[in-house]
Structure 1
Amino acid sequence: MKKRYAICGVSGRALGMFAKPIATTFSQSCEIVGVLDRDAKRFELFETRFPDHTHVKKYGESEFDRMVEETKPDVIIVAGRDDSHAKYIIAALRRDLDVITEKPMVTTGEDCRRVLDAERASKGKVTVTFNYRYAPIHTKIKELIMEGKIGRVTSIDLNWYLDTHHGSSYFKRWNRLRELSGGLSIHKSTHHFDLVNWWIDQKPVEVFAYGALNYYGPEGEFNPSKEDGRHCETCKYTEDCAYYSRWNSRKEKIQVPDDHLGSLVGEDKTYPYTNYRPDQCIFDSEINIEDTYSATVKYDGGALLSYSVNFSLPYEGYRLAINGTKGRLETVEYHTQSRIPFPTSKQTIEYFPLFGSKDTIHVIHREGGHGGGDPLLLEDLFIGEDRRRQYNILSGAIDGAYSVSTGEAVWKSVKEHRPITIDEILKQQKYSSSGEMN
């Protein structure tokens, strides 16, 4: 019998990351029985992408209970706008259903607590799709630390860079409003905080951070005119906008697709949404999130993380160093090779023992999104976890909660100019890896 999935939020990620593999690669054992969204146009997009699935039942945003009653799903996939996650995760858990949710799990520490409480009272479990864990380089780093190559982890340096194409895309969409996304220290940085938490197997306890809006919003240095309400497709200033002209030709607007939208724009060049366009001006005054962060995170095992992220740089990637009592690991990655304006070599891991010579570790790279991690994650989700691994890799609700609470602590520290404890965000409740309160 096939496992039955219902999808809440027919987003680009829902279509590409979940619906497509269920409808193709895993169709022998999985099926989509319902989709839910606030915008009926997204159902049209779903049927355009998957013409063999026009029979799948469609439901409005307030019809979750009816969808469950009529379609009887085994698993709810939550992949809508970030601020909608908590509602559907908790509703599913109250019906003892398993949940697969896109990151971030939720957008606030308060919602983290609500999800953890709901999961403890439920037969259902939450899985957060942190696909970066599955990239071969990242799993190798986990294995090296577990093997004791660098001893006890003492400090981590992680600097993440987003280029002017990808970084600016967040400021064209709903992500630019904190009330919808939690800000980029949550929407984006949860990926990074989860990686560190998982690599070192320690829990964050305190955060201090600085942050600013340096590139986007009306005061951005490349803003050609302080005029709200523009859209890239119709803007008269495109030739004067460095962010636009860097990635688009003059003869055809919106030539380079947004990383997260893919080919959502149809052949008629209209956006498949009601009252929403993902090409809003990156210099609008309503933008209320930061584009630059520098943070320090203290962990319960004594490790210290020095973290930075910048959403407007000439190239994309990250630099990582993990230090321990017996040595150091280093790696540099350049993302989206087609947009890197200089030659790059295959990513390796450099291992420096505290006393001895350097060793370069080559890792077999895989095809697929997020450094080759997406296909491996999907296999675990829709076939079952690979039991040959010597470590847990699928993320649960507690992993989602610690990554979100770290992100919230970052921007609260920025706003309040003081250290923020994770206990403060989670209201003194400490959770084990199983989600139980200690």
Structure 2
Amino acid sequence: MSNSRRKFLTSVSMLAAGTAMPISYFGLSHKNKLKVALVGTGIRGITFWGKRLVDNYSDILEFVGLSDHNPGRLAHGKNYIGASCPTFEDFDEMLRKTSPELVIVTTKDSNHHEFIIKALDHGCDVLTEKPMTTDEEKCQAVLDAERRSGKNLIVGFNYRWSPYSTKIKELLSQNAIGKLTSVDFHWYLNTYHGASYFRRWHGQMASSGSLWVHKSTHHFDLLNWWINSEPSEVFAYGDLEFYGKNGPFRGENCRNCAHTENCKFYWDITKNEFLSSLYTDHEQHDGYIRDNCLFREEIDIYDKMSAQVKYQNNVQLNYSLTTYSPYEGWRAAFNGTEGRIEAWLDIPYYENLKVDQEELHRREMDQSGQEEIDSEPIIVHKVWNEFETVNVPMEKSGHGGGDKRLHDKIFKNPEDPDPYGRMAGSRDGAMSILIGIAARKSIQEGKPIKIASLTDLKPREVR
């Protein structure tokens, strides 16, 4: 193995462990590019973990294989990414024939664990899209595989890397409000983005583990990181009362529906060239329908959710997620012994936003790199004192600027110090999904759920 290759693989190990690396550990040459394989050529795979890597990091990495069970989407994905590697419907065959050093997993949530475990056991490091997996048994299997393989698993939590999220972490780390005691966090999905989850496989518990796992894992990871502790107990409520069986009518899908003139949620996927070429042109291969009816009977996830979470350091979290809000955004408040921090993004009444909600989501997901720099406020209010407004420069695109910063850290500058500890390994991935899994079980069983009862991980007070 070349010295430069050894340096890179050592850096991946340190990234997964959250360890600071000396600058000498990183040094790729053009002759020794990182060999990357991707499984799952859906929208997240071919954009964020595909084309963006080819466009920005081709000098230090190369795709040696792409895999998907849908041959049409696989061929389309290869062309979109701009890769020159072979494609495989059989993941095991790809591992054998291409010998990747890093496998990126962007498949359906419920089978993340299958590909993570196979790749680790094959001797590959793995980078998985969130959530790490969908239930406690699969979570334990992933943890066991990482331990026995001696390889490393990184979870792609991009929200940690946005400047706004980082500033909150900085303020809390500086004890700007004294000892943190409680947190209120509320996320609002709009009737464009929120509804989209119920059109897709995400609307079924068996595929996504519910939005407690698929969506809220983002939020729980942020909260675990901000609070600087791990969850110990969860109690939750949730119900399905807007989508699914609650709809006034239903059809086969939006393209084949008798109610298009009456349904406010009617969405013509054929007008979106990108989604049509990726999904509808290839649905005959696997039957995956991207524009399913929001009111189909088989939807069984929750569309309103709230939870209370107790942390090892005695911080209490009040959390909620709403999936049919008129707008998309979030609010958070951090209460401490010496004051309070209030933070929010994309609340239209606070910012006089005039942007269409569909356009707002498009900007957030944009990977073009043409960011518009803006600033967003954070309020720091000390007890017995006037409040202070901290303005944070940030971008709207690429998840608030988090996407490019995460990629740069993993592939370009792993040796750069990170005083905020933003890299996430398997423990971080587990602790985020275990809150959602515990919330789901709490609803089903009507009682609080101890995190320590789910896997062999024992929550820590401070990470």
Normalising by structure 1, report the TM-score: 0.89
Query: What is the rounded CA distance, in whole Å, between the counterparts of 2:147 and 2:347 in structure 1?
Result: 38
| Alpha-carbon displacement from aligned partner over 1:165-216 (angstroms, at most 9, x marks no partner) | 1111001000011111101100000000000000111100101111010210
* Identity across the alignment (%): 39
Where does residue 416 of structure 1 map in the other structure?
A: 445
Where does residue 284 of structure 1 map in the other structure?
A: 296
Query: What is the rounded CA distance, in whole Å, between the counterparts of 1:237 and 1:19 in structure 2?
Result: 37
Which of the residues 357, 370, 380 maps onto 1:351?
A: 380
Q: Alpha-carbon deviation of 1:431?
A: 6.1
Where does residue 266 of structure 1 map in the other structure?
A: 277
Where does residue 254 of structure 1 map in the other structure?
A: 269
Query: CA, structure 1 residues 405+5, in 2 after alignment: closer, same or farther (shift >3 Å)?
Result: same
Where does residue 181 of structure 1 map in the other structure?
A: 208
Q: Alpha-carbon deviation of 1:412?
A: 1.2
Which of the residues 343, 352, 356 maps onto 1:339?
A: 356
Q: Contact 1:97/1:123 (CA < 8 Å) preserved in 2?
A: no
- Which 4+ stretches in 1 moved above 2 angstroms? 63-66, 253-257, 269-274, 335-341, 384-389, 431-435
Q: Alpha-carbon deviation of 1:433?
A: 11
Query: What is the rounded CA distance, in whole Å, between the counterparts of 2:109 and 2:196 in structure 1?
Result: 16
| Alpha-carbon displacement from aligned partner over 1:38-69 (angstroms, at most 9, x marks no partner) | 1111122113314x53x411122xx3332122
Amino acid at match of 2:277: G
1:230-241 matches, within 5 Å, as: 230-241=252-263
Where does residue 164 of structure 1 map in the other structure?
A: 191
Where does residue 430 of structure 1 map in the other structure?
A: 458
Query: CA, structure 1 residues 332+434, in 2 after alignment: closer, same or farther (shift >3 Å)?
Result: closer
Amino acid at match of 1:264: L
Q: Alpha-carbon deviation of 1:380?
A: 1.3
Query: CA, structure 1 residues 340+277, in 2 after alignment: closer, same or farther (shift >3 Å)?
Result: closer
Query: What is the rounded CA distance, in whole Å, between the counterparts of 1:256 and 1:160 in structure 2?
Result: 29
Which of the residues 296, 300, 319 maps onto 2:312?
A: 300
Asked if 1:198 is matched to 2:213, the reply is no
Amino acid at match of 2:101: D
Q: Contact 1:45/1:272 (CA < 8 Å) preserved in 2?
A: no
Q: Contact 1:398/1:434 (CA < 8 Å) preserved in 2?
A: no
Amino acid at match of 1:95: H
1:20-419 matches, within 5 Å, as: 20-50=51-81, 52-53=82-83, 55-60=84-89, 63-220=90-247, 223=248, 225=249, 227=250, 230-244=252-266, 253-254=268-269, 263-266=274-277, 270-273=280-283, 274=285, 275-334=287-346, 338-340=355-357, 346-385=375-414, 387-419=416-448
Matched position secondary structure for 2:394: coil
Query: What is the rounded CA distance, in whole Å, between the counterparts of 1:263 and 1:386 in structure 2?
Result: 36
| Alpha-carbon displacement from aligned partner over 1:73-125 (angstroms, at most 9, x marks no partner) | 11000001001110111111112311110000001111111111111222211
Query: What is the rounded CA distance, in whole Å, between the counterparts of 1:163 and 1:256 in structure 2?
Result: 21
Q: Contact 1:8/1:35 (CA < 8 Å) preserved in 2?
A: yes
**How many positions carry a matched residue from both structures?**
411
Normalising by structure 2, report the TM-score: 0.84
Q: Alpha-carbon deviation of 1:328?
A: 1.0
Query: What is the rounded CA distance, in whole Å, between the counterparts of 2:319 and 2:459 in structure 1?
Result: 24
Give unmatched runs, 5+ long, in structure 2: 1-31, 361-373
Which range moved further: 149-158 or 363-372? Answer: 363-372
Query: What is the rounded CA distance, in whole Å, between the counterparts of 1:206 and 1:385 in structure 2?
Result: 34
Q: Contact 1:331/1:347 (CA < 8 Å) preserved in 2?
A: no
Where does residue 49 of structure 2 map in the other structure?
A: 18
Matched position secondary structure for 1:25: helix
